[in-house]
Amino acid sequence: MIKNKKRKEGYLMVEVFVAICISLIVMSTVNLMLNESVSLISKTDNRIELMEQFNEMKSSLKREIRNSSDIRFYKDNKNIIPEDGFVEVDKIKVSRVDDVKLGVTKVKDKSIHVNKYNKKLFISYNGGNYEIGNYAEGIEAKKDSENSFSIKLKLNKNNNQFNDIINIRLRN
Protein backbone atom coordinates (compact mmCIF):
# COMPACT_ATOMS: atom_id res chain seq x y z
CA MET A 1 0.00 0.00 0.00
CA ILE A 2 1.29 3.39 -1.03
CA LYS A 3 1.01 6.03 1.66
CA ASN A 4 1.75 9.17 -0.37
CA LYS A 5 -1.02 8.79 -2.94
CA LYS A 6 -2.87 12.14 -3.21
CA ARG A 7 -6.55 12.42 -3.70
CA LYS A 8 -7.47 14.56 -6.78
CA GLU A 9 -11.23 14.18 -6.80
CA GLY A 10 -11.94 17.64 -5.30
CA TYR A 11 -9.65 19.47 -7.71
CA LEU A 12 -11.58 18.27 -10.76
CA MET A 13 -14.66 20.31 -9.74
CA VAL A 14 -12.56 23.43 -9.19
CA GLU A 15 -10.87 23.02 -12.61
CA VAL A 16 -14.23 22.60 -14.35
CA PHE A 17 -15.64 25.67 -12.56
CA VAL A 18 -12.60 27.82 -13.48
CA ALA A 19 -12.72 26.63 -17.11
CA ILE A 20 -16.44 27.45 -17.37
CA CYS A 21 -15.90 30.91 -15.84
CA ILE A 22 -13.04 31.69 -18.24
CA SER A 23 -15.13 30.47 -21.19
CA LEU A 24 -18.06 32.67 -20.15
CA ILE A 25 -15.81 35.71 -19.78
CA VAL A 26 -14.27 35.14 -23.22
CA MET A 27 -17.68 34.56 -24.86
CA SER A 28 -19.23 37.66 -23.28
CA THR A 29 -16.24 39.78 -24.35
CA VAL A 30 -16.50 38.51 -27.94
CA ASN A 31 -20.27 39.10 -27.91
CA LEU A 32 -19.81 42.66 -26.64
CA MET A 33 -17.19 43.40 -29.29
CA LEU A 34 -19.44 42.01 -32.04
CA ASN A 35 -22.41 44.06 -30.85
CA GLU A 36 -20.32 47.24 -30.74
CA SER A 37 -18.91 46.64 -34.22
CA VAL A 38 -22.39 45.99 -35.66
CA SER A 39 -23.66 49.16 -33.96
CA LEU A 40 -20.74 51.17 -35.32
CA ILE A 41 -21.30 49.83 -38.85
CA SER A 42 -25.01 50.66 -38.61
CA LYS A 43 -24.29 54.23 -37.44
CA THR A 44 -21.75 54.70 -40.23
CA ASP A 45 -24.19 53.41 -42.85
CA ASN A 46 -26.92 55.72 -41.53
CA ARG A 47 -24.54 58.69 -41.57
CA ILE A 48 -23.46 57.95 -45.15
CA GLU A 49 -27.08 57.65 -46.27
CA LEU A 50 -27.95 60.95 -44.58
CA MET A 51 -25.04 62.66 -46.34
CA GLU A 52 -26.14 61.26 -49.70
CA GLN A 53 -29.72 62.42 -49.09
CA PHE A 54 -28.45 65.86 -48.10
CA ASN A 55 -26.40 66.18 -51.29
CA GLU A 56 -29.40 65.26 -53.44
CA MET A 57 -31.66 67.70 -51.58
CA LYS A 58 -28.99 70.39 -51.81
CA SER A 59 -28.71 70.13 -55.59
CA SER A 60 -32.51 70.15 -56.02
CA LEU A 61 -33.01 73.11 -53.69
CA LYS A 62 -30.20 75.11 -55.27
CA ARG A 63 -31.60 74.50 -58.74
CA GLU A 64 -35.12 75.53 -57.73
CA ILE A 65 -34.25 78.53 -55.55
CA ARG A 66 -31.28 79.95 -57.47
CA ASN A 67 -33.33 80.57 -60.62
CA SER A 68 -36.24 82.20 -58.81
CA SER A 69 -37.12 85.87 -58.83
CA ASP A 70 -38.77 85.93 -55.41
CA ILE A 71 -38.42 83.82 -52.27
CA ARG A 72 -40.72 83.88 -49.25
CA PHE A 73 -40.55 81.97 -45.98
CA TYR A 74 -43.62 80.92 -44.00
CA LYS A 75 -44.08 79.89 -40.38
CA ASP A 76 -47.61 78.99 -39.24
CA ASN A 77 -48.98 80.37 -42.56
CA LYS A 78 -47.41 83.79 -41.87
CA ASN A 79 -44.82 85.34 -44.15
CA ILE A 80 -41.60 85.91 -42.17
CA ILE A 81 -38.21 87.41 -42.99
CA PRO A 82 -35.50 85.46 -41.13
CA GLU A 83 -32.82 88.13 -40.70
CA ASP A 84 -31.61 87.54 -37.13
CA GLY A 85 -30.16 84.07 -37.48
CA PHE A 86 -31.72 80.78 -38.40
CA VAL A 87 -35.48 80.54 -37.95
CA GLU A 88 -37.48 77.35 -38.34
CA VAL A 89 -39.85 77.60 -41.29
CA ASP A 90 -42.75 75.43 -42.40
CA LYS A 91 -42.66 76.32 -46.07
CA ILE A 92 -40.51 78.11 -48.62
CA LYS A 93 -42.29 79.61 -51.63
CA VAL A 94 -40.33 80.56 -54.70
CA SER A 95 -41.60 82.36 -57.79
CA ARG A 96 -40.01 82.28 -61.19
CA VAL A 97 -41.00 84.43 -64.14
CA ASP A 98 -40.72 82.59 -67.43
CA ASP A 99 -39.70 84.19 -70.69
CA VAL A 100 -42.08 86.70 -72.11
CA LYS A 101 -43.89 85.22 -75.11
CA LEU A 102 -46.16 87.46 -77.13
CA GLY A 103 -46.34 89.97 -74.30
CA VAL A 104 -47.56 87.42 -71.73
CA THR A 105 -45.47 86.65 -68.68
CA LYS A 106 -45.96 83.45 -66.78
CA VAL A 107 -45.21 83.25 -63.09
CA LYS A 108 -44.54 79.78 -61.76
CA ASP A 109 -44.88 79.35 -58.02
CA LYS A 110 -43.27 76.43 -56.24
CA SER A 111 -43.49 75.45 -52.61
CA ILE A 112 -40.85 73.54 -50.63
CA HIS A 113 -41.99 71.88 -47.42
CA VAL A 114 -41.31 68.96 -45.08
CA ASN A 115 -43.99 66.38 -44.38
CA LYS A 116 -43.40 65.76 -40.68
CA TYR A 117 -45.31 62.46 -40.63
CA ASN A 118 -43.20 60.57 -43.14
CA LYS A 119 -40.09 62.79 -42.89
CA LYS A 120 -39.87 63.64 -46.58
CA LEU A 121 -38.98 66.88 -48.33
CA PHE A 122 -41.32 67.87 -51.15
CA ILE A 123 -41.49 70.45 -53.91
CA SER A 124 -45.07 71.30 -54.86
CA TYR A 125 -45.95 72.75 -58.25
CA ASN A 126 -48.42 72.20 -61.07
CA GLY A 127 -50.86 70.65 -58.61
CA GLY A 128 -48.56 67.86 -57.46
CA ASN A 129 -46.01 67.04 -54.80
CA TYR A 130 -42.63 65.78 -55.92
CA GLU A 131 -40.41 64.11 -53.34
CA ILE A 132 -36.80 65.24 -53.34
CA GLY A 133 -35.52 63.58 -50.18
CA ASN A 134 -36.07 61.38 -47.14
CA TYR A 135 -35.29 61.63 -43.42
CA ALA A 136 -36.04 65.39 -43.28
CA GLU A 137 -37.16 66.70 -39.90
CA GLY A 138 -37.19 70.41 -40.55
CA ILE A 139 -35.95 73.44 -42.42
CA GLU A 140 -34.39 76.57 -40.96
CA ALA A 141 -33.67 79.68 -43.00
CA LYS A 142 -31.67 82.87 -42.68
CA LYS A 143 -31.37 85.90 -44.94
CA ASP A 144 -27.69 86.74 -45.41
CA SER A 145 -28.08 89.69 -47.80
CA GLU A 146 -30.57 91.00 -50.35
CA ASN A 147 -29.96 88.15 -52.81
CA SER A 148 -28.37 85.54 -50.55
CA PHE A 149 -30.01 83.03 -48.23
CA SER A 150 -28.84 80.17 -46.05
CA ILE A 151 -31.00 77.12 -45.52
CA LYS A 152 -30.27 74.56 -42.83
CA LEU A 153 -31.66 71.08 -43.38
CA LYS A 154 -32.17 68.85 -40.36
CA LEU A 155 -32.06 65.15 -41.20
CA ASN A 156 -32.53 62.19 -38.85
CA LYS A 157 -32.41 58.44 -39.39
CA ASN A 158 -32.53 55.98 -36.48
CA ASN A 159 -31.50 58.71 -34.00
CA ASN A 160 -28.49 59.67 -36.14
CA GLN A 161 -28.78 63.38 -36.82
CA PHE A 162 -27.20 65.32 -39.67
CA ASN A 163 -27.53 69.09 -40.01
CA ASP A 164 -25.86 71.12 -42.72
CA ILE A 165 -26.24 74.51 -44.33
CA ILE A 166 -26.91 75.36 -47.96
CA ASN A 167 -25.86 78.84 -49.09
CA ILE A 168 -27.90 80.07 -52.05
CA ARG A 169 -27.49 83.26 -54.05
CA LEU A 170 -30.37 84.33 -56.27
CA ARG A 171 -29.41 84.98 -59.87
CA ASN A 172 -32.26 87.34 -60.70
Q: Which has the higher per-residue pLDDT, 105 or 159? A: 159
How far separated are the first and last CA of the chain, in Å rounded? 111
CA 141, chain centre distance (Å): 17
Q: What residue type is 74 in one-letter code?
A: Y
Output the pTM of the full model: 0.75
Q: DSSP E strands: which ranges in the chain? A: 70-75, 78-80, 87-89, 91-97, 107-115, 120-125, 128-134, 136-145, 148-157, 160-169
Over the stretch 30-53, which tens digit does the pLDDT of each residue have?
999 999 999 999 999 999 999 999
Spatial distance between the Cα atoms of 64 and 163, rounded to a whole number of angstroms: 20
| Residues 46-101 pLDDT 10s | 999 999 999 999 998 888 888 887 888 898 888 888 777 888 998 999 887 766 56
